[in-house]
A = this chain, B = another copy of it.
Amino acid sequence: MIPYCSICWDVDKVKLLDQRRLPAEELYLEITDYHEVIDAIRTLAIRGAPAIGVAAAMGAALGALSLDTADGKEFQSRFQVICREIAAARPTAVNLFWALDRVLLVAQAHKAESVEAIKGHLVAEAQTMLKEDETINRRMAQAGQVLIREGHRVLTHCNTGALATGAYGTALGVLRAAWEAGKRFSVWVDETRPLLQGARLTTWELGKLGIPYTLIPDGAAATLMHQGKVDLVILGADRIAANGDTANKIGTYSVAVLAHHHGIPFYVAAPLSTFDFTIPDGNHIPVEERAPEEVTHLWGQAVAPAGAQALNLAFDVTPNELIAGIITEKGIMEPPFASSLKPYRPGQS
């Protein structure tokens, strides 16, 4: 139905849709060297927390396949080095570390087996994680779609569709499920500067889904809210602290404050793999600062004078008080999040 995928495993290589070239061109990269997966994550050929998680697992599998040793101990140690390299690709999205922890556990769990067998387990695990991501997203979408009502005008920020995940999407998955359930509504798409994931990717995905949307500059969201033209905000997350504080694409906190001021419910959609229960609150989330050229240039052309000083924070952190609910594969978590999330902390059951 959706004739594209963000990432998949193909025999012995990773195929991923190069999102830097969208919407102008649908080009799939075919990668056999895990260094190129790191590069793809770093340069945003693939982005979105859940998609980064899957890419990390597949990159680790490629790395494992490249190890030319039959010695189990040497394999484990070199595999750990590879995972550490991949982990350094980007700092904020916790799914990256979650995915690598998971493949490291798989390697450990099978350490008594042959290196070849372990490689097989790692390749299988990466593919399992991709399938699981779709299942989780579909559950999340079903849980969240009850929030969307006929005629709603929903505002979203950045991209949270199939492109940002293994498949189906998080916040955009919720919209997709509502649409598939027959509800008719429309979407305000924040263009999401500096890298325009809203303008380039979300519009592209909504167009393929047939969901009506209107693209706006990020600065226009407030006046639409003031005019009563926004009923609901729903967007994704890159890392959520134990208290519900949420790191997401720069501009998210702005939308959250504006929604709060106008009495508009603000929802986050994210799988449990995006939660970081090791940190109590958002102050502990490292926020990636990217190259200023992403702000001062667009496709290599300067939008500012030569030598212009610019700050390019890739994410911001929204305090939990501004969040009406967090949609997960286990249902919609409501405030206070420390309590509603408690059953899902690792070690609880």
Contact = CB atoms under 8 A, between A and B. Distances in A.
Contact of A217 (B24, B220, B251, B317): B251
Nearest to A223: B316
Contact of A216 (B216, B223, B311): B311
Contact of A220 (B255, B257, B258, B311): B311
A74 to B, nearest CB: 45
Interface residues of A, number: 57
A346 to B, nearest CB: 29
Interface in A234-291: 250-255, 257-258, 260-261
Interface in A165-184: none
A83 to B, nearest CB: 31
Interface stretch (A110-118, A121-129, A193-201): A193-201
Contact of A218 (B157, B193, B203): B193
Contacts of A316: 220, 222-223, 226
Contacts of A216: 295, 310-311
B250 A199 contact: no
A31 to B, nearest CB: 26
B258 A254 contact: yes
A304 interface: yes
A120 to B, nearest CB: 40
Interface string A84-102: 0000000000000000000
Contact of A257 (B24, B218, B257): B257
Interface stretch (A41-49, A137-145, A207-215): A207-215
Contacts of A296: 199, 215
A254 B298 contact: no
A218 to B, nearest CB: 4
A200 B214 CA distance: 26
Contacts of A305: 23, 203-204, 207
B303 A222 contact: no
A228 interface: no
A296 B226 CA distance: 24
Nearest to A322: B261
Nearest to A190: B219
B304 A220 contact: no
Given A157-B219, A191-B193, A217-B251, 7 more contacts: A207-B307, A214-B309, A220-B250, A220-B316, A222-B254, A257-B257, A257-B261
17 contacts: A23-B304, A24-B302, A199-B295, A199-B296, A199-B304, A203-B305, A215-B296, A217-B218, A219-B250, A219-B251, A219-B252, A220-B313, A222-B254, A226-B253, A257-B258, A260-B261, A298-B303
Interface of A: 23-24, 157, 190-194, 196, 199-200, 203-204, 207, 212-223, 226, 250-255, 257-258, 260-261, 292, 295-296, 298-299, 301-313, 316-317
Please provide the 5 A-B residue pairs with the shortest distance between their CB atoms, ordered closest to farther. Answer: A219-B251, A222-B254, A223-B316, A193-B217, A215-B310
